[in-house]
Amino acid sequence: MASIQLGIRAHDLQAQSLSELVSKAKAARFSNLHFAPAKLNQIIDTDLMTPGLAHYLYAPIQRADLTISILGCYVNIIHPDRSLRETALQTFERYLDSARWFGDAVVATETGSVDISGYTPQNFTDEAFEEVVDSVTRLARYAESVGAIFAIEPGVNHPIFNIQRTSQLLNEVNSPNLKLIFDPVNLMTTENYQNQEQLIIQFLEAFQDKIISFHLKDFAFDSDQKRIVTFGQGQLNTKFLLTEIGRRFPHTFCTFEGLQEKDIEAATNEVKKWVNVD
């Protein structure tokens, strides 16, 4: 079987200190973390990323032989309030500056929304897409200037909501430093989930050279509402997804998302049915 490197979102581990978080990740035999400092409020008491803070946070992770596969900076890069959007973009640029102190981790975000409440049909307009292009272009050029890698995570509620929009964004920004995180569940709808294998193949083939990491979670639809469930216990074809990832992206980074600690063993066992874990 092919192999992957398995990890978890750091803020899905319940910990009151960084050492406790690292210990839990090691005990679960994870090799990498999706590490979003702003989500770790019980551990980190500042939102201002600096090289010193980055070094302080990364040192115990590195000593434990863990890798930061994704440095999460999930800010709304198309916030309708231009002042708050500028703050978000500057925050992301500080993370790009600090990535070298996190082992040259990839800095990632979703695109956000043009409405402060989150979901809005306006996200699917050409106007919203152009807002994304403007912000992503700025961040991609900044990433190029500091030698960092920047990744976007598409999702059905955001302006980058399908394969076509993803391809259009990559073509318009045209940056070697812009990559993708693929979370297939983020693209599942009541209209396409029964043809999920086709969606997965199309995405993997379209962006083979751009995908830098994968999120692993599962889903179930209840009365047309998508619910996240433990990996391997929903409607995701985990065998198909993992075998295709392993075959096309050997030893790639995959991180569980939205997984409760009590379900780590079951989810990990599901992964090991279909791929080896480094």
Q: Which amino acid is at 189?
A: T
Q: Which of 72, 76, 84 is nearest to 114 (CA)?
A: 76
**pLDDT digits over 164-209, tens only?**
999 999 999 999 999 999 999 999 999 999 999 999 999 999 999 9
**pLDDT digits over 41-79, tens only?**
999 988 889 999 999 999 999 999 999 999 999 999 999
Instruction: Evaluate whether 61 touches 70 at the Cβ level (below 8 Å).
Output: no
Total-model pTM: 0.96
How distant is the alpha carbon of residue 271 from its chain centre? Answer: 18
Give the separation between CA 138 and CA 17, rounded to whole angstroms: 35
Strands 67-72 and 276-277: unpaired
With cut-offs at 50, 70 and 90, classify the pLDDT of residue 81.
very high
End-to-end C-alpha distance for the chain, whole angstroms: 12
Per DSSP, helices labelled H in the chain are 18-27, 51-63, 82-98, 126-146, 163-173, 196-206, 238-248, 264-274
SS3 of 117, please?
coil
- Per-residue confidence (pLDDT) for residue 23, from 0 to 100: 98
Is the Cα dihedral 168, 201, 4, 20 positive or negative?
A: positive
**pLDDT digits over 203-238, tens only?**
999 999 999 999 999 999 988 899 999 999 999 999
- Residue at token pair 């090289």: 51
SS3 of 149, please?
coil
SS3 of 151, please?
strand
- Per-residue confidence (pLDDT) for residue 45, from 0 to 100: 85
- Per-residue confidence (pLDDT) for residue 107, from 0 to 100: 98
With cut-offs at 50, 70 and 90, classify the pLDDT of residue 92.
very high
- CATH top class, domain 3-277: alpha beta
**pLDDT digits over 139-156, tens only?**
999 999 999 999 999 999
Instruction: Evaluate whether 275 touches 1 at the Cβ level (below 8 Å).
Output: yes
